[in-house]
């Protein structure tokens, strides 16, 4: 790791101010991605602005069916939230299967979506729920937020403060683990929301998380796993790597979508 200066931000304003004072600085949340990248000398931020001690960024808040998850909330807290489990168990289940216990107690939703790893789980949940990403300066719809591999709509210095969404009528998530990393080799999040059926696929697309409109239409007419039986998934635009080629991923997209619907009930 190269030398870096650590700052513990006390509030969102403090964090944003620190960031603007340090051009080459970076926000630090759980550090599960950033610190290991720094240890490998693949990132060299001059300053780290730690967000985890800002009280307003942490926790799951529920008002009626409106859910707000602070950006610095670790995966384990989301997985364990009873209030959230009562209205959207699929997201608890998703969070509960990220990485291992160490990762779940450190890694955060804000860090995960800001990083937008094409094999991460949260992007599927956030896009599938049609959530809104709240930042220090605006609100961005999930449809606009994820823009490509490790790319988001965040501007330089912009900070995610929360993710909000309306609890869906039904939702389910099915993940097929990469055998080595256990990130999603393919993960599909399905939700029946007030705004319609949404199906988001992670781990498979060569430009990151995406919505599958064919599945969405089929499920809008008939919410059942069988509704997807006759739809073929086009393998073009899907990733091929060491672990799985595009054709196999296309198969997994369909199988996981069916299982997600089945788990949603």
Partner 1 sequence: MGVEGIGARVTRKEDKRFLTGKGRYTDDMTVPGMKYAYFIRSPHAHARVKGIDASAARSMPGVIDVLDGKQLQADGIGNLICGWMIHSKDGSPMKMGAWRPLAVDTVRYVGDAIAIVVADSLGEARDAAEAVVIDYEPLPAVTETAVAMAAGAPQLHPEAPNNLIFDWQLGDGDAADRAIASAAHVTEIEIHNNRLSPNPMEPRATLGIYDGAEDHYTCYTTSQNPHVARLVMSAFYNVAPENKLRVIAPDVGGGFGSKIYIYPEEIVCLWASRKTGVPVKWTADRTEAFLTDAHGRDHVSKVKMAFDADNHITALKVDTIANLGAYMSLFSSAVPTYLYATLLSGQYAIPAIHANVRTVYTNTVPVDAYRGAGRPEATYLLERTIETAARELGISPAELRRKNFIRTFPYQTPVIMNYDAGDYEASLNAAMQAADWAGFEARRATSEANGKKRGIGMSCYIEACGIAPSAAVGSLGAGVGLWESAEVRVNAVGTIEVLTGSHSHGQGHETTFAQLVAGRLGVPIESINIVHGDTDKVQMGMGTYGSRSGAVGMSAVVKALEKVEAKAKKIAAHLMEAAEEDIVIENGELKVAGTDKALPWFQVALAAYTAHNLPSGMEPGLKETAFYDPANFTFPAGCYVAEVEIDPETGETDIVQFVAADDFGNIINPLIVEGQVHGGIAQGIGQALLENVQYDANGQLLTASYMDYAMPRADDLPSFKLSHQNTPCPSNPLGIKGCGEAGAIGSPPALINAITDAIGNNGLTMPATPMKVWQALHAAH
Ligand X SMILES: Cc1cc2nc3c(=O)[nH]c(=O)nc-3n(C[C@H](O)[C@H](O)[C@H](O)COP(=O)(O)OP(=O)(O)OC[C@H]3O[C@@H](n4cnc5c(N)ncnc54)[C@H](O)[C@@H]3O)c2cc1C
* Site residues (vs ligand X, CB under 6 A): 26-34, 51, 71, 75, 98-99, 103, 107-108, 110-112, 114-115, 120-122, 154, 159-160, 182-183
Q: Do residues 136 and 16 touch, judged by C-beta distance below 8 A?
A: yes
Residue identified by tokens 């602005």 is 49
By a kind-dependent CB cut-off of 5 to 8 A, residue 47 interacts, out of ligand X, partner 1, none, with none
Q: Catalogue the E-assigned strands of 178-260.
A: 184-193, 196-202, 210-211
Which range of residues in 22-30, 59-67, 90-98, 243-251 is near partner 1 by CB under 8 A?
243-251
Specify the residue, 136 or 216, whose C-beta has the smaller distance to ligand X. Answer: 136
By a kind-dependent CB cut-off of 5 to 8 A, residue 116 interacts, out of ligand X, partner 1, none, with none
Cα gap 171→189, rounded to integer Å: 7
Q: Which of 176, 189, 210, 215 binds partner 1 (CB under 8 A)?
A: 176
By a kind-dependent CB cut-off of 5 to 8 A, residue 165 interacts, out of partner 1, ligand X, none, with none
Q: Is 5 in the site for partner 1 (CB under 8 A)?
A: no
By a kind-dependent CB cut-off of 5 to 8 A, residue 142 interacts, out of ligand X, partner 1, none, with none
| 164: its two tokens | 């909000």
Q: Which of 99, 248, 262, 263 binds partner 1 (CB under 8 A)?
A: 248
By a kind-dependent CB cut-off of 5 to 8 A, residue 244 interacts, out of ligand X, partner 1, none, with partner 1
Q: What is the DSSP letter of 233?
A: P
Within 13 Å of residue 110, how many CA atoms lie on the same side as its CB?
30
Q: Do residues 221 and 183 touch, judged by C-beta distance below 8 A?
A: no
Cα gap 140→117, rounded to integer Å: 18
Specify the residue, 33 or 186, whose C-beta has the smaller distance to ligand X. Answer: 33
Specify the residue, 198 or 259, whose C-beta has the smaller distance to partner 1. Answer: 259
| 247: its two tokens | 């054709």
How would you label 113-138 residue by residue, b for 16+ Cβ within 10 Å and e otherwise? bbbbbbbbbbbbbbbbbbbbbbbeee
Q: How far is CA 62 from the centre of its chain?
A: 19
Residues contributing to the site for partner 1 (CB under 8 A): 1-2, 40-41, 176, 179-181, 242-245, 248, 251-252, 255
């Amino acid at each position: 790791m190269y030398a870096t200066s650590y700052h513990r931000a006390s509030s969102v304003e403090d964090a944003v101010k620190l960031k603007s004072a340090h051009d080459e600085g970076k926000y630090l949340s759980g550090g599960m991605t950033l610190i290991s990248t720094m240890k490998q000398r693949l990132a060299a931020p001059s300053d780290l602005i730690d967000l985890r001690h800002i009280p307003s960024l942490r926790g799951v808040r529920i008002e009626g069916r409106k859910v707000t998850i602070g950006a610095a909330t670790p995966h384990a807290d989301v997985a364990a939230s009873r209030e959230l489990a009562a209205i959207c168990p699929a997201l608890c289940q998703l969070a509960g299967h990220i990485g291992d216990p160490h990762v779940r107690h450190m890694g955060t939703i804000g860090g995960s979506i800001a990083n937008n790893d094409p094999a991460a789980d949260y992007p599927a949940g956030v896009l599938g729920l049609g959530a809104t990403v709240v930042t220090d300066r605006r609100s961005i719809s999930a449809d606009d937020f994820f823009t490509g591999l490790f790319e988001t709509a965040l501007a330089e210095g912009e900070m995610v403060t929360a993710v909000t969404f309306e609890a869906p009528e039904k939702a389910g998530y099915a993940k097929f683990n990469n055998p080595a990393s256990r990130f999603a080799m393919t993960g599909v999040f399905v939700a029946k929301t007030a705004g319609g059926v949404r199906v988001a696929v992670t781990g498979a697309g060569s430009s990151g998380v995406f919505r599958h409109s064919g599945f969405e239409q089929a499920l809008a007419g008939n919410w059942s796993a069988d509704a997807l039986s006759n739809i073929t998934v086009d393998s073009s635009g899907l990733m091929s790597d060491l672990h799985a080629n595009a054709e196999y991923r296309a198969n997994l997209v369909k199988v996981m979508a069916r299982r997600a619907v089945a788990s949603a009930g």
